[in-house]
Amino acid sequence: MSAFKSLTDCYVLSNGVNIPCIGFGTWQVENGDGAVAAVKSALQSGYRHIDTAEGYGNEESVGRAVKESGVPREKIFITSKLTNNMHGYENTLEAFEKTMADLDTGYLDLFLIHWPNPIKFRGNWREANAGSWKAFEELYKAGRIRAIGVSNFHPHHIDELMKNADVAPMVNQIRLCPGCTQDAVVDYCKSNGILVEAYSPLGIGKVFEVPEMREFAKKYGKSVAQICVRWSIERGYLPLPKSVTPARIKENADVFDFELSPQDIQTIAGLTGCCGLASDPDTITW
């Protein structure tokens, strides 16, 4: 059971920063007017947490949407991520300045290392991550980023990072959806005070073809997407649903008027591979 009642209710990160309990994801939302419209629609629907990345190529549109939305900047939590080919201390500082120029939002609420072991740094990922994290900590301590974290990191990646770190990651954003629960990673994060965010909580669209999920939608009188988002919250994740359709953007966040039974939560978790499984961060080819 979750205590959250609205989109503006928050998890509290380890450093005391509030982060709204559902975020709007922008992966695969192409830069341009369509991305601007989608983010503005999300903000108009009540979202106050927007997730982007250098690798998505749409930071400029996200920044523009924030400006045009009429919602005060300080009311919006904005996340971006370090692109894979810019790991290391100097590269990270350069990449961060590009992100800030593209977003043009004054500061960043959360910055993540997108992948721990990209192909470009496969031979020296530990050193590359240590350099990036040094830059992250400096930017954080300077007040340019309100919180710092990682994405797609497994416990051994975080353990290596902490050998040289002064500040522990506050967030780990990983792929979590029905049938893909990454329990070992989630348990590690929870035991170390790291909030787990769920990207692709709708299984990159595959979840809509899963018969069991359709049955749960009928049972609760909700959409499959709403079941997925509610399931994420009930599991203690922070979901980042994505859509470019205004009605679905709004619907995906309308999940505070029902609860899933403990048995149904477990059944959904056990639909192993129904939406595919997370990529191994040590063997990715990007």
The residues carrying an active-site annotation are 56
- How large is the greatest C-alpha to C-alpha distance in the chain, in angstroms? 53
Q: Nearest to residue 29, comparing CAs of 7, 66, 6, 62?
A: 62
CA distance 3 to 80: 27
CA distance 5 to 49: 16
Q: Nearest to residue 216, comparing CAs of 169, 179, 267?
A: 267
CA distance 34 to 40: 10
Stated length of the chain = 286
17, 147 contact by CB (below 8 A): yes
Q: Which residues contact 216 (CB under 8 A, 6 or more apart)?
A: 224, 227, 260, 264, 268
- In the chain the first and final C-alpha atoms are separated, in Å, by 38
Backbone phi, psi, residue 80, to 5°: -135, 175
12 membership: H or E segment, kind and range: strand 10-12
- DSSP assignment, residue 22? S
